[in-house]
């Protein structure tokens, strides 16, 4: 029977706690480290062009991360965040979506952005905050956004995109759209209040949203075993009344399959789904972090053997869709293309100061115009502190 609290009631007559391990969620794995398929596993339906696009995207992001972290160390950009070791999570999931499904990312999902078609030049313009940046230089590096490819601009506060995704997906349903929203976050964000508010809202209002948790082992310097107890994040979705699945985040075939199933189910039933991808953050949390202070090289090396790109490359070679010689040539060429684009973007001028208040309202309100004039007066008074802007004021 049910009660007004919407809970199924089963009557017993002996006092007994329900243990936390009553719900153990298994991890889906399809692809072995050697590129072969597990016995009993079924490959997802992937055509060659899609499979190669997924691989090319992973490689692009790996090389981009290498070059841009080096650029940050050289002082050419102020900040950067790698997704080293987690490429399969975002690329595999993005490949399973429709191009018009909304993506709400946290900050380590450049793979999804690239898969949607964000160009090398757009990456560079954002990272250098120049006048060609879609965000007009108003965001930190890696806080990407693109209306054209349905990628909501990233916010710095942790977890705020989770309830926003629930609301966006609910609006998609109310408008009768056949699209969903995917919301990425890490297991650290799952400790925020926004996580619980967002999941509960989506479950109650039956919003077609896919919550995608990248459980990469660390919330900055805090390991997962110091963040929470219990069987990971996936079981929390079940607690909110939604279906959930756990996948190996280094297995791009498993990620693709799980996300495709989640999308189909979310749209057919107008319900949210929670995916937990078990991965490992091989790089630092950001260019401001030093992981040697909280984990060992031995631990990192162990996980490095679980490289998602190497595993997928072996599968593609086995299928005859990729050969090692062409792969090396492509990667070498890509390094050159990224370096060339970096050199171009860093020479493009910065946006004019008037863009600080443009696009906030249709027409800037008097209060914002007043603040802009006060800022200009301040810069004119202390031009030595603003060498890029001081000589460009009207």
What single-letter DSSP state applies at residue 37?
Answer: B
Burial of 362 (0-12, 13-18, 19+ CB in 10 A): exposed
Q: Is position 80 annotated as part of the catalytic site?
A: no
Pick the closest to residue 153 from 162, 163, 142, 169 (CA basis): 142
Using CA atoms, how far residue 218 sits from 7, 113, 189, 303, 389, in Å, is 34, 23, 11, 13, 39
Burial of 61 (0-12, 13-18, 19+ CB in 10 A): buried
Adjacent-strand bridge partners of 182 = 103, 210
Using CA atoms, how far residue 223 sits from 47, 145, 218, 281, in Å, is 38, 29, 4, 11
Collapsed DSSP state (helix, strand, coil) of residue 315: helix
Rounded Cα distance, 394 and 392, in Å: 6
Q: Structure tokens of 199? A: 């999941």
Q: How many residues does the chain have?
A: 394
> Among 143, 246, 263, 281, which one carries the catalytic annotation?
281
Q: Is position 236 annotated as part of the catalytic site?
A: no
Rounded Cα distance, 48 and 50, in Å: 6
Element (H, E) at 214: strand 209-215
Contact at 8 Å (CB) between 87 and 95?
no
Contact at 8 Å (CB) between 182 and 215?
no
Q: How many Cα atoms are found within 13 Å in the side-chain-facing hemisphere of 173? A: 20
Q: Structure tokens of 70? A: 């080096």
Q: Is position 294 annotated as part of the catalytic site?
A: yes
Backbone CA torsion sign across 335, 336, 340, 346: positive
What single-letter DSSP state applies at residue 13?
Answer: S
> Among 236, 285, 311, 313, which one carries the catalytic annotation?
285
Rounded Cα distance, 155 and 144, in Å: 9
Backbone CA torsion sign across 288, 290, 107, 58: positive
> Among 269, 294, 380, 392, which one carries the catalytic annotation?
294
Which residues are catalytic, by number? 281, 285, 294
């Amino acid at each position: 029977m049910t009660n007004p609290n919407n809970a199924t009631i089963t009557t017993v007559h002996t006092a007994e706690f329900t243990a936390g391990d009553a719900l153990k969620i298994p991890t889906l794995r399809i692809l072995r480290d050697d590129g072969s398929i597990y016995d009993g596993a079924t490959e997802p339906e992937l055509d060659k062009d899609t499979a190669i696009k997924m691989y090319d995207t992973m490689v692009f992001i790996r090389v981009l991360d290498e070059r841009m972290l080096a650029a940050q160390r050289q002082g050419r950009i102020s900040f950067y965040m790698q997704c080293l070791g987690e490429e399969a999570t975002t690329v595999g999931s993005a490949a399973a979506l429709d191009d018009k499904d909304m993506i709400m990312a946290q900050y380590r999902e450049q793979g999804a952005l690239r898969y949607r078609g964000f160009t090398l030049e757009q990456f560079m313009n954002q990272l250098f905050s120049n006048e060609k940046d879609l965000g007009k230089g108003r965001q930190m590096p890696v806080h990407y956004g693109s209306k054209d490819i349905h990628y909501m601009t990233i916010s710095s506060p942790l977890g705020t995109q989770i309830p926003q995704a629930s609301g966006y997906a609910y609006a998609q349903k109310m408008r009768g759209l056949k699209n969903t929203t995917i919301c990425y976050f890490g297991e650290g964000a799952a400790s925020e209040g926004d996580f619980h508010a967002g999941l509960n809202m989506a479950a109650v209002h039956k919003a077609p949203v896919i919550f995608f948790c990248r459980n990469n082992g660390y919330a900055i310097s805090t390991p997962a075993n110091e963040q929470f107890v219990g069987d990971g994040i996936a079981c929390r979705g079940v607690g909110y009344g939604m279906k959930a699945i756990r996948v190996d985040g280094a297995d791009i075939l498993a990620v693709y399959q799980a996300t495709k199933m989640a999308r189909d189910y979310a749209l057919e039933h107008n319900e949210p789904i929670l995916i937990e991808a078990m991965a490992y953050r091989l790089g630092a949390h950001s260019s401001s972090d030093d992981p040697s202070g909280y984990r060992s090289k031995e631990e990192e090396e162990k996980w490095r053997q679980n490289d998602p790109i190497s595993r997928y490359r072996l599968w593609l070679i086995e299928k005859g869709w990729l050969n090692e010689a062409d792969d090396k040539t492509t990667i070498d060429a890509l390094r050159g293309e990224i370096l060339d684009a970096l050199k171009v973007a860093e020479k493009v001028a910065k946006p004019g100061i008037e863009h600080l208040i443009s696009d906030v309202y249709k027409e800037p309100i008097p209060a914002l115009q007043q603040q802009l004039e006060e800022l200009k007066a301040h810069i004119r008074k202390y031009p030595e502190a603003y060498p890029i802007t001081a000589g460009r004021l009207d």
